[in-house]
Homo-oligomer: A and B are copies of this chain.
Amino acid sequence: MTKKLRRSKQRSRMLELLRSTEQHPTATWLYDELRKEFPTVSLGNVYRNLSILVEQGYVHKLDFGSTFDRYEAADGQHAHFMCRGCGRIYDLPMPDLEGYSHRRDIDGHRLESARVEFFGVCHECAAETESS
């Protein structure tokens, strides 16, 4: 069962910071900001609290779903489906993105490439869960 959570000034402030910034901070950025108010805060605790906030759904982690990089041969555009059960990555046809993919710029930024990723539970993992 899940632990009952308490409230901590550090964690509350972290969420405030994340909500008040336009940036998409790294753990270290948060650490530096937090240290202005809690000079003794530790980086380890920032990571610990981030993982709690992510688990609670208050924060999104913009990583790739696993701690190591993945590679694929470069053969055309496609989207990916990532299974949170087994970690497998499936290829999918690239959706059209309302024509974005053919545009040269977005909001004034020069567009070079796009990536689309879906997350969920894959067919095989869903089958396993049901049968057990």
Contacts and interface: CB of A to CB of B under 8 A. Distances in A.
Contacts of A37: none
Interface residues of A, number: 64
Contacts of A107: 81, 90, 92, 123
A70 interface: yes
Contacts of A126: 109-110
Stoichiometry, as copies per complex, reads 2
A110 B129 CA distance: 12
Interface string A19-61: 1001111111010000000000000000000100110011111
10 contacts: A62-B69, A92-B107, A95-B98, A97-B97, A106-B118, A108-B123, A110-B120, A110-B126, A111-B119, A113-B119
